[in-house]
Structure 1
Amino acid sequence: MLKQRVITALVLAAILLASLLNELAWPFSALTLVFITAAGWEWSRLNDAPGARAWLTGAAVAGGCVYAAQVVGLPVWASTVLDNGLNVHPHVHGWGMPLAGFHVPSGVWAFACLLWVLGGAVVLRYGNTHWKRVSDFWRRLLGLLLLVVAWLALVESKAQGLNFLLSVLCLVWAADIGAYFGGRALGRRKLAPSISPGKSWEGVWSGMVAVCVLAGLWMWADASLGVDSPSLYSRLWMGLGPLGMLLALMLLVGMSVVGDLFESLVKRQAGVKDSSQLLPGHGGVLDRIDALLPTLPLSLAVLTLCHA
């Protein structure tokens, strides 16, 4: 099992790295579109719609991503991006308009924030007893919406520059690693025992500490090293100040946990351990991106509050 996990991880890392380092937009867009389509297929199977309906859901996710990108003018296939430079762009007040230096209208991220914060609270509170009572059509539609928005946020982040994208991705990974080790060492109070018995409040706080340390180191790197774009942390520091950045990071870490718990709830309701076996040794695509689904769009949502 370990050998299989390592081989899969190395292959995926090599493919992802090649797409990230390519100056053209389409390798990364195409690769992530394949993964998000596979996640749509998994989501449908987890929600009582296997077979042809699962393939249809995956195709709908892919089509929704491409269509939405065209509507908002997101550079998916070409290398054309807006000038993001190394300066933090000012906040632009205007509903339905993107922030300066961005492509997707800020209202999309505000909607994603509302959906994840309020919807996530409702699902985690009542999901164990009510999730399966909702029609599989509406559950699949919700998954399609969440996956399309997450992909838009992923491509938008890549368009801002490699440093910006990595700073968002590493936030989730640092929170997960910090929560794992902090939870094992200090975990006493269970976070959501009916959904994920292994998670604890101490793990969540450990994840937040890990992200704060990461943010400090990353801002130092932004100021000291040659980077292609300001990181999420530098943008938040300059736009919201120290306290505002801390609150924003706490929100993002908390929502990464919500994403993880949400997928765990869906899998528990489906009676499975993994979303699929598409990634040998790692389970499915949803198992790898669950925490990213809310964090990617919400990281852009908090930037709409910046005024630097």
Structure 2
Amino acid sequence: MLRQRVITAIVLLALLLPALFAASPWPFALLTLVLIGAAGWEWGRLNAAGGAAIAIGVLLALACAVAAWLGWAATPPRWLWWPVAAAWIVAGAFALRAGPAGWPAVPMPLRWLLGLVMLWVAWLALAHARHLGINFILSVLCLVWMADIAAYFGGRAFGRRKLAPTISPGKSWEGVWSGVVGVIVLALLWRWVDASQPVDSPSLYSRIELRWGWLGLLVGVALLAAMSVVGDLFESLVKRSAGAKDSSGLLPGHGGVLDRVDALLPVFPIAMALVAS
């Protein structure tokens, strides 16, 4: 299993890193478009779409392609981000409160539509983040990774109170707070690097601080850390409801695409809302 995980990780990095660091943002946008289409197929499978799951993935990829053709990857509609951010915060809270037992009560066509919209907006935010610069997109990705790593170690060291035992028994409130602290430390360090080292673009943290001030930076990154947990829990909820361990076996040793990007789904649109002028 470990060997399989390592091989898959090497292959993914061999594809993602050249696309991410290419002079043009389009290789990254196209590669992630393919991956998000695969995530759409996985979403359909998890939500009883059967043979229509492939159609859902294709439709999602086409919707992303249309957005790119319209120029929205470079200049997305400014009205989009805040409604999506609000929807994630409110609907995410309701879904987690209802738990795995409540998810099947949502009509199946609505679940398919929610998945399409959620993944389409996430791809658009991801593609736009690359247009804003490598330093910017890396700062968002590292926020999610830091939240996950700090939560893992903080939970192991201090975890006592279960966060969502019916969804993810291993997560604790102490882990969440450790993730928030880790992200705040990362934001302050990255902000210092922005001010003292040459970078290709302002990071997420510099942009939030410029628009909202230092207090806004602390609150904003804490919110993003918390929402990364919501994204992770939401996908776990859907999988538990479907009786699935992984979203698919597309990434041997790692599960599916959704398993790897679940925490990113709310974070990127909310990050775009926080920095949009």
TM-score band by shorter chain is over 0.9
* Distance in 1, Cα, partners of 2:50 & 2:144: 30
Moved more, 182-191 or 16-25: 16-25
Deviations 1:250-295 (A, max 9, x none): 1111111110000000000010111011001100000000000000
Query: What is the SS of the residue equivalent to 2:246?
Result: coil
CA apart distance, 1:189: 0.5
Aligned-residue CA RMSD (Å):
1.2
Task: From 169, 172, 187, give the equivalent of 1:197.
Answer: 169
| TM-score relative to the length of structure 1 | 0.87
CA apart distance, 1:50: 2.2
Q: What percent of counterpart residues are identical?
A: 60
* Distance in 2, Cα, partners of 1:113 & 1:129: 25
* Distance in 1, Cα, partners of 2:80 & 2:57: 22
CA apart distance, 1:22: 1.0
Which structure carries more helix by proportion?
2
CA apart distance, 1:216: 1.5
What are the equivalent positions in structure 2 for 1:134-153 lying under 5 Å apart? 134-153=106-125
* Distance in 1, Cα, partners of 2:176 & 2:147: 8
Partner of 1:97: none
Query: What is the SS of the residue equivalent to 2:102?
Result: helix
What are the equivalent positions in structure 2 for 1:31-46 lying under 5 Å apart? 31-46=31-46
* Distance in 1, Cα, partners of 2:80 & 2:246: 30
CA apart distance, 1:302: 1.4
Partner of 1:64: 63
Partner of 2:200: 228
Contact 2:99–2:166, Cα closer than 8 Å, also in 1: no
Task: From 216, 219, 226, give the equivalent of 1:254.
Answer: 226
CA apart distance, 1:10: 1.2
Query: What is the SS of the residue equivalent to 2:79?
Result: helix
CA apart distance, 1:158: 0.2
Task: From 175, 189, 193, give the equivalent of 1:217.
Answer: 189
* Distance in 1, Cα, partners of 2:95 & 2:190: 34
* Distance in 1, Cα, partners of 2:192 & 2:13: 26
Number of residues of Structure 1 aligned to a counterpart in Structure 2: 277
Deviations 1:87-133 (A, max 9, x none): xxxxxxxxxxxxxxxx1122110111121011111111124332112
CA apart distance, 1:138: 1.2
Task: From 123, 130, 139, give the equivalent of 2:95.
Answer: 123
* Distance in 2, Cα, partners of 1:60 & 1:122: 27
Moved more, 199-208 or 105-114: 105-114
The residue identity in structure 2 corresponding to 1:74 is: W
The residue identity in structure 2 corresponding to 1:3 is: R
The residue identity in structure 1 corresponding to 2:240 is: R
The residue identity in structure 1 corresponding to 2:3 is: K
Partner of 1:7: 7
CA apart distance, 1:65: 1.1
Q: Do structure 1's residue 24 and structure 2's residue 24 form an aligned pair?
A: yes
* Distance in 2, Cα, partners of 1:38 & 1:294: 18
| TM-score relative to the length of structure 2 | 0.97
Q: Which runs of 5+ in 1 are unaligned?
A: 76-80, 82-102
* Distance in 2, Cα, partners of 1:294 & 1:69: 20
Partner of 1:78: none
Contact 2:130–2:136, Cα closer than 8 Å, also in 1: yes
Moved more, 17-26 or 186-195: 17-26
* Distance in 2, Cα, partners of 1:112 & 1:12: 29
